[in-house]
Amino acid sequence: MSLPNGHGGQLRLAIPSKGMEDDTLRFLQACGLRVDRTNPRQYRATMLGLPTGRVEVVFQRATDIFDEVDEGTVDLGITGFDIVAEHRAEDDDIVIVHGELGYQNCALVLAVPEGWVDVADVSDLAEVTADLRGAGRELRVATKYVNLTRQFLYDRGMTHFVLVEVSGALEAAPSLDTADVISDLTSSGVTLRENRLKTIGGGTVVRSQACLIGNRVALQASAHKLEATRCLLELIEAHLRARQHVSLTANIVGDSADAVAARVVAAGGQSLGLRGPTVARVYPKDAHGEGGAAWWAVTVVVSEAVLLPSVEALRRAGATDVSATQVRYVFEHRSWTFEALKRHLGQAAAVS
């Protein structure tokens, strides 16, 4: 059994052990964090890569991680936002440290039988619910997400339904006539279609992806854990930001650094680079050739979305060859998610 986790000690992080495990380890690695496990069957490990020291890692089921973090047996946990949204309570000790880790994307959606050709959106479903009620029946909704589904239906004017607990495959419930419709997680929609179900307009209950949650009390009580969390967030945030950026380097001939920079800016406008181009002198192998014309290396970091337009702009500015490298991190002058976390913890402290 686990030892009581006091306010001191190392930061403890729970990582999902099934389904999400590979993606999570890959994500942490991309952030520069290495999880060391003596053997893959062990449920304890150590994470290296933070300047604040090693982090104790435990592997748990994604659904249990919420409870572990809430009870404070671990300080931080990575789990699906769908689980957090479903299990949250008004007086829980959970704080969302980072809500969008960018993987494990899926959505909790309402799906109805394909044969319900008259049901195109949620308001149709509301009307069908009312019709069924008139016939003395209630709409049966199969789901494992009772809280989210109930609230979603309430918010859309449906109150005459019954949530059905189904063991096994949810998608089969309508064809087995144990439910009329389902509310289930989907990422591609393939399973729904295979079971002759369809999503309906406005029927997305919640969009989900992996997220990082923390125990409010533990983070408030320990400066060390909060600092370790800040370092973790710095890496995560800079990595996520970097995923959308490419660093371009081009060689351009020019009279001076200023002249080259002016040409690049004129060709690329404001869209070129996070701040603007960096221009550095290139010292040619043959220092006496080329009749005095100097070469300059121009470096810009651009959003992946404008990669080709940026290359074009550099060409217009006289670039002959352009190399592009994936950026590993993009740090801004502070971690915004950590600022948000601090504000949140501060407010919570002021209230309690």
Partner 1 sequence: MRADVPYSIASPVQRVRGTTDVLPVQQRRLRALAEALHERFESFGYEGVDTPILEPLELFLRKSGDEIVARMYAFAHWNRRLCLRPEHTASVMRLFVNEFQGRSLPLRLQYTGPEFRYERPSRGRQRQYTVLGLELIGASGPVADAEVLHLALSGLWAVGLQRYRLVVGHLGVVLQMLRQLGISEHAQGLILDQMEPLARGRLTVDEATTRILGLLGAGADEAAVPSDGAPAFEGLAGLPPDQATALAADLMRRVSLPLEGSARTPHQIIQRLLAKATRADPTERVRRAVAFVARLHEASGEPDRLGALRALVEQNGLSTAPLDEVEAALRFLRAHGSVPNRDDGATWEVDLALARGLRYYTGIVFEVYVDDEGGPLQVCGGGRYDDLIRALGGREAVPASGFAYGLERLALATERGGPTPAASPKVLVVPVAHDDLAVALHVAATLRAAGGMRVEQDVRLRGVKNALRHADRSGIAATVLIGAEERAKGQAIVRGMASREERRVPVEDVVAAVQALAG
Residues in touch with partner 1 (CB under 8 A): 1-4, 90-91, 113-124, 126-128, 130-132, 137, 140, 154-160, 162, 174-175, 177, 180, 196, 198, 200-202
Q: How far is the CB of 97 from partner 1 (least distance, A)?
A: 24
| CA dihedral sign, ordered 165, 171, 172, 174 | positive
Q: How far is the CB of 146 from partner 1 (least distance, A)?
A: 10
Residue whose CB is less far from partner 1, 120 or 253: 120
- Continuous H helices in the chain: 21-30, 62-71, 81-87, 122-134, 146-155, 173-176, 190-194, 216-221, 223-242, 257-268, 307-316, 336-351
Rounded Cα distance, 281 and 260, in Å: 11
Q: How far is the CB of 170 from partner 1 (least distance, A)?
A: 16
Count of other CB atoms within 10 angstroms of residue 249: 17
Q: How far is the CB of 45 from partner 1 (least distance, A)?
A: 20
Q: How far is the CB of 201 from partner 1 (least distance, A)?
A: 3
What is the DSSP secondary-structure string of 241-303?
Answer: HHTTEEEEEEEEEES-HHHHHHHHHHHHGGGSSSS--EEEEE--SSTT-GGGPEEEEEEEEEE
Q: Is 212 helix (H, G, I), strand (E, B) or coil?
A: strand
Residue whose CB is less far from partner 1, 165 or 304: 165
- The backbone region for 181, taken as left when phi is positive above 0, alpha when psi lies in -120 to 50, beta otherwise, is beta
**Closest of 143, 148, 140, 139 to residue 170, by C-alpha:** 143
Residue whose CB is less far from partner 1, 33 or 108: 108
Residue whose CB is less far from partner 1, 151 or 249: 151
Rounded Cα distance, 280 and 302, in Å: 18
Residue whose CB is less far from partner 1, 190 or 287: 190
Rounded Cα distance, 83 and 63, in Å: 6
Query: In this structure, are residues 44 and 26 in contact, taking their beta carbons and an 8 Å threshold?
Result: no
Residue whose CB is less far from partner 1, 162 or 282: 162
Q: How far is the CB of 150 from partner 1 (least distance, A)?
A: 9
Q: How far is the CB of 177 from partner 1 (least distance, A)?
A: 7
Q: How far is the CB of 165 from partner 1 (least distance, A)?
A: 9
Residue whose CB is less far from partner 1, 59 or 152: 152
Q: How far is the CB of 246 from partner 1 (least distance, A)?
A: 33
**Closest of 311, 216, 313, 220 to residue 264, by C-alpha:** 313
Residue whose CB is less far from partner 1, 90 or 286: 90
Buried b (16+ CB within 10 A) or exposed e, 323-344: eeeebebbeeeebebbebbeeb
Rounded Cα distance, 308 and 301, in Å: 13
Residue whose CB is less far from partner 1, 46 or 199: 199
